[in-house]
Amino acid sequence: MKGTILVTGGAGFIGSNFIRHTLSKYPKTKVVCIDLLTYAGNKDNLKGLPNNRLIFVKGDIANKALVARLVKKYKPTYVVHFAAESHVDRSIHGGAETFVRTNVLGTAALLSAIKNASSIKKIVHVSTDEVYGALPLKGGKKFTEESLLLPNSPYASSKAASDLVARSFFKTYNLPVVITRCSNNYGPYQYFEKLIPFSIMRLMGGNPITIYGDGKYVRDWIHVEDHSSALLLALKKGIPGEIYNIGADDEVSNLALAHRLLKYFKKSKSAITHVKDRPGHDRRYAINASKIRRELGWKPKHTFNKSFETTVAWYVEHMGWMKKALARTGRANTHL
Ligand SMILES: NC(=O)c1ccc[n+]([C@@H]2O[C@H](COP(=O)([O-])OP(=O)(O)OC[C@H]3O[C@@H](n4cnc5c(N)ncnc54)[C@H](O)[C@@H]3O)[C@@H](O)[C@H]2O)c1
């Protein structure tokens, strides 16, 4: 894969993994990353990457003039759009406006700024399984690309709206946009407000893990490296206008995940505290990813069973990274 990729939100959890993954897999590829460095963005996530192949620009995707300048200057062949407000709890307790502003207006501004760029061959709009809403615990049903959009949180509704904006740019302007919808990611460099790093931080600080309600909330986990490999395939082989679900068939309840952490840190069950449930909490997500497997030949390499402990060990070994980010952004702003 040659040429330049414009990556938005590349200093975040998944974007930084995608950049790392792509630069090491393709020695001739360059990346231009535009990131606003909100509380969730962290330049340390990109540390050690070759600076002759990675250009970092601090900026807002909603700044059309800036995006247009970058496109004119670097003539990217591809765009991968990660930039978003991504934390469900913040969208519930902190107000939905920031989510609509970045995820919907930001996506519209970005796509408007690049829609006449002749260098661009493909755009991947990175979305989430949360746009489909929730599934019942029993019955084994999974989300397909044809499932209805029934988002339940302000985060999910802003992502669903951004998907529709992306689709309309394909239909109206023939912009070669592919939409991907992935399940819950785990792996290194995730900001510590999210379940796994947050729980690790709590346990390491001698505090109990906090679990919403009864904890019987099931998520379909995928290692972030597998998400990155799927996105590269979508970029290379994905058909514009199509949607591809991404998931690794690894359903785990929040309570089961908490118990695995207790085992890892040799703690007793008293190190779990059940807290008041999240409003509108989705019971279960499960992704049917047969389309991307069948049509693009994607296959995940990790299983939650094998890669969960490696992920936990990474956070334990990288407490310095976590503490530095904490000092910069303040205490993780969670439901507590
Ligand atoms: N984390 C998951 O499990 C998951 C699953 C499926 C899809 N996704 C999607 O993947 C994308 C990345 O998620 P993540 O977990 O890495 O999020 P993250 O919160 O870790 O990173 C988001 C990044 O976007 C940047 N950003 C925010 N607003 C911006 C703006 N206006 N302009 C430029 N940059 C801005 C932030 O600084 C940060 O670096 C999101 O679109 C999210 O909806 C995430």
For atom 41 of ligand 1, the residue with the nearest CA is 82
Known catalytic residue: 173?
A: no
Rounded distance from Cα 85 to ligand 1 centre (Å): 6
Burial class of residue 64 in the structure, from the number of CB atoms within 10 Å of its CB (0-12 exposed, 13-18 middle, 19+ buried): middle
Rounded distance from Cα 162 to ligand 1 centre (Å): 13
Condensed to tens digits (0 to 9), the pLDDT of residues 190-209 reads 999 999 999 999 999 999 99
Does ligand 1 have an atom closer than 6 angstroms to the CB of 57?
Answer: no
Is residue 24 scored above 50 in pLDDT? yes
**pLDDT for the residue 99:** 97
Is residue 239 scored above 90 in pLDDT? yes
Is residue 334 scored above 60 in pLDDT? no
Known catalytic residue: 186?
A: no
Tell me which of 7, 13, 89 to substitute to probe ligand 1's pocket, judged by most ligand atoms within 8 Å of the beta carbon: 13
Condensed to tens digits (0 to 9), the pLDDT of residues 282-313 reads 999 999 999 999 999 999 999 999 999 999 99
Catalytic residue among 60, 130, 220, 250: 130
**pLDDT for the residue 77:** 98
**pLDDT for the residue 299:** 98
Does ligand 1 have an atom closer than 6 angstroms to the CB of 182?
Answer: yes
Is residue 29 scored above 70 in pLDDT? yes
**pLDDT for the residue 331:** 61
User: The tokens of 73 are what?
Assistant: 């200057």
Question: What is the C-alpha to C-alpha distance for residues 324 and 171, in angstroms, rounded to an integer?
Answer: 44
Atom of ligand 1 nearest to the CA of 186: 3
**pLDDT for the residue 304:** 97
Known catalytic residue: 155?
A: yes
Confidence band of 332 (pLDDT split at 50, 70, 90): low
**pLDDT for the residue 335:** 40
Helical pair 254-264 and 195-204, crossing angle rounded to 10 deg: 40
CATH T-level fold of 3-183+223-249+285-303: Rossmann fold (3.40.50)
Task: Say if CB 285 and CB 208 are below 8 A apart.
Answer: no
**pLDDT for the residue 326:** 85
Helical pair 195-204 and 319-329, crossing angle rounded to 10 deg: 100
CB atoms within 10 A of CB 218: 20
Confidence band of 315 (pLDDT split at 50, 70, 90): very high
Is residue 336 scored above 70 in pLDDT? no
What is the average per-residue pLDDT within 106-113?
98
What is the average per-residue pLDDT within 20-43?
97
pTM above 0.75, yes or no: yes
Query: CB-side exposure of 114: number of CA atoms within 13 Å?
Result: 35
- Reference 144, options 154, 136, 135; nearest CA is 135
